[in-house]
Structure 1
Amino acid sequence: MKRARIAWQGGIHEARPHGADQLRLADGRIVGQAEVTWLPPVQPRTVFALGLNYADHAKELAFKAPEAPLVFLKGPNAFTGHRSFSRRPADATYMHYECELAVVIGKAGYRISKADAYDHVAGYTVANDYAIRDYLENWYRPNLRVKNRDACTPLGPWLVDRADVPDPMALRLTTRVNGVTTQQGTTADMIFDVPTLIEYLSSFMTLSPGDLILTGTPEGLADVKAGDVVDTEIEGIGCLTNTIVDDAGWFGAAGQGAHAQ
C-alpha cells in the first residue's frame, strides 16, 4: 500500500494514489495531484543519515570506505515534500542531489538483531538529501551546514508498506536532471545493509516509530543549478520531484520556500 500526506483546503490529509494523476483522501474525496501541497509522507522523529554507504560513491569522492557506519543526525526543518523547492545559496559552487532509500521505523526496539530487523520497519520512501560540497565541515561539526539547511531534503511522495517491498536490498535507484539520467545504482551495493544499520543503531539507543534511516547514495553526482528539475526514483517506491531555486526565488514569492508546491 502507498500512502501520502498532503495539505489541501486548509487541512492535512492522508491520501492514496487514484489513477494516473489523482489522489483519494481518507474520506473518499478525489483530488488532482497538482491541486495539493505534498508533505513528507511521515513526520520525521529522529533521523539518522548514512555517509559513504556505497563504495562507488566513496571512491567518487576520493574517500576510503568506512569500516563502521558513518552516521549523522538531521533536524526536522531539513525535510520538505514532493514537488517542492530547495534553495541553492548564491555562494554555493557545487550542490548535488543524493537519491537515497529511506527506512521508516514502525515498532520500537533496543538491541535488535539482524534477523529481527525487518519486523521493526513500517515501510520505505525516497529521500533526496542535497549536499553543498563547499559547506563540508571538519570532524568537530560534521555535516551541520551541509545536511540541516531548510528544505534541503525532499522526502516522498509515498510511504510504501514493508510488505510491498519483498527485498529492499535489490532496488534500482535513478536520478534525472531535467529529464536526463545522471545517476544509476542499486541498493545491493550498500556497504551496510538495512538489517545491519538497524542492529548497529539499536545497539546503543532505542529506535522508535517515526524514526528514519537515510541509507546513502551511489555514485553519479552532478552539480545542480537554479531552475533544474530533479527526479529521484527508487524502483517500487516512487519518483520524487523537486525544483532548485536561487536566493531570489527562495526568499521571494516563488520560494516562501520549503513548502511551496
Structure 2
Amino acid sequence: MKICRFGDNRLGWLDGDVVRDVTAALDILAPKTYPFPKHDILIENLAAICARILVIGASAPIVTDAKLHLLSPVANPGKIIAAPVNYQKHLKEVLNDANLHHDNQINHIERAGLFLKATSSVVGASEGVALRKLDRRNDHEVELAVVIGRAASNVTRAAALDYVAGYCIGLDITIRGPEDRSFRKSPDSYTVLGPWLVTADELTDPGTLDFSISVNGEIRQNSNTGDLILGVQQLIEFASSFYTLQPGDVIITGTPEGVSPILPGDIMVARMDGIGEMTVAVRAADNGNRVSHA
C-alpha cells in the first residue's frame, strides 16, 4: 500500500493513479495526552490503519492535483539516522575532492558510525528545500529512506526487515564545510521524505532498487541500492546495537557518487524503483544570503 500525508495533515491512499482522502481511517488512533509519545503513532498502528483503508478506501473522495500538497509521510520521527559515505564510489569521490571533505577525516562507515539529523529538518516533497548559507556550496544527496515500524533493539541482520514499516525516497541536503555532519545537514527542510510511504509488504527487496535524481532535467546521480556498503539489514543491525529504534524512526541509507550543488530556482526530480518519483523545488530561505563565517 502507498499512503501519504497532504494538505492540512490529511491522510491519502494511492489507489492506482489517483489519491483518495482516507483521513477517516485515523479515527482508530487513541487520543494521546501529555507527555506525548516519542514516536510516530500512525506508524505504530500502521497495520490497523491500512486495514481500515481497505474498508473505506474505495468510496473515499479523490484528491485533485491542486490540493495534493505533499507533506512528509512520517509526521513525527523520533530519530533521523543517516549513513555517511555508504557507497564505495561516493567514498572515493569525497576523498578526492577537497570541496567535499574540507579536511574532515573521512572513514569507512563501519569505523565512522552513523549520525543523527534534527527531526526539525524534515519536510515533504511539496514543501521544497529552503537553502541557507548561499555563500557556501549546498548539495543534493538522494537516498533510500527506511521507516521503522516497531521497537527494535539489538536486532539481528536476519530479522531486520521484520521491523520495517515501509520505504520512501529521501533527500539529504548538505551544506559543505568543516563543521560536524549533523550540524551542516540539519537546517529546516534539509531532509525531504516522500512522496509517500510504500509499505514493506509491497517492497520486499530493498537491495535491488534503481534510483536517480535530476536537477533541471539533467541526471546527476544514478545508482542501485545493491551498491550499498552496508545494506538495509546491516544498517538496522548496526543502529539497533547502539540505541533502540522506535516506530517512525527513519534510516536514510547513504548516497552514491554524483553529489553536486543546487541553487534557488532549481527543480529536483528523484525517482526510485518500487516507490515512484517526487519533484522538489529549491528556494532561498529567509536570510539565506547572509554571509557565514566558516
The secondary structure found in structure 2 opposite 1:119 is helix
CA distance in 1, matches of 2:287, 2:210: 33
Which 5+ residue runs of structure 1 have no aligned equivalent?
A: 252-261
Deviation at 1:191, TM superposition (A): 0.6
Partner residue in 1 for 2:156:
113
More displaced stretch, 82-91 vs 166-175: 82-91
Which 5+ residue runs of structure 2 have no aligned equivalent?
A: 25-59, 96-105, 290-294
Relative distance call for 1:219 and 1:243 in structure 2 (3 A) is same
2:248 is equivalent to residue 222 of structure 1? no
The secondary structure found in structure 1 opposite 2:271 is strand
The secondary structure found in structure 2 opposite 1:116 is helix
Deviation at 1:165, TM superposition (A): 1.0
1:236 to 260, 266, 274: 274
The secondary structure found in structure 2 opposite 1:148 is coil
Q: Larger % of helix: which?
A: 2
Partner residue in 1 for 2:10:
13
Partner amino acid, structure 2, of 1:56: K
Partner residue in 1 for 2:21:
25
TM-score by length of 1: 0.86
Partner amino acid, structure 2, of 1:53: N
Per-residue CA deviation, residues 6-58 of structure 1 (Å, 9 max, x unaligned), is 12xxx4211012454x4201151111133232110012121111111111111
Relative distance call for 1:13 and 1:250 in structure 2 (3 A) is farther
Q: How does 1:42-191 map to 2 (within 5 A)?
A: 42-43=74-75, 44-62=77-95, 63-68=106-111, 70-134=113-177, 136-137=178-179, 142-191=180-229
Relative distance call for 1:53 and 1:40 in structure 2 (3 A) is same
Relative distance call for 1:120 and 1:248 in structure 2 (3 A) is closer
Query: Greater CA radius of gyration, 1 or 2?
Result: 2
TM-score by length of 2: 0.77
Q: Larger % of strand: which?
A: 1
Q: Is contact 2:81–2:251 with CA below 8 Å preserved after alignment? A: yes
Partner amino acid, structure 2, of 1:4: C
Root mean square deviation, CA, Å: 1.9
Q: Is contact 2:12–2:20 with CA below 8 Å preserved after alignment? A: yes
Per-residue CA deviation, residues 83-134 of structure 1 (Å, 9 max, x unaligned), is 2221223543311111110110002121111111111001101111111113
CA distance in 2, matches of 1:245, 1:237: 25
The secondary structure found in structure 2 opposite 1:164 is coil
The secondary structure found in structure 1 opposite 2:261 is coil
Q: Is contact 1:155–1:240 with CA below 8 Å preserved after alignment? A: no
User: Number of paired residues?
Assistant: 242
Partner residue in 1 for 2:4:
4
Query: Percent identity at matched positions?
Result: 36
Relative distance call for 1:247 and 1:111 in structure 2 (3 A) is closer
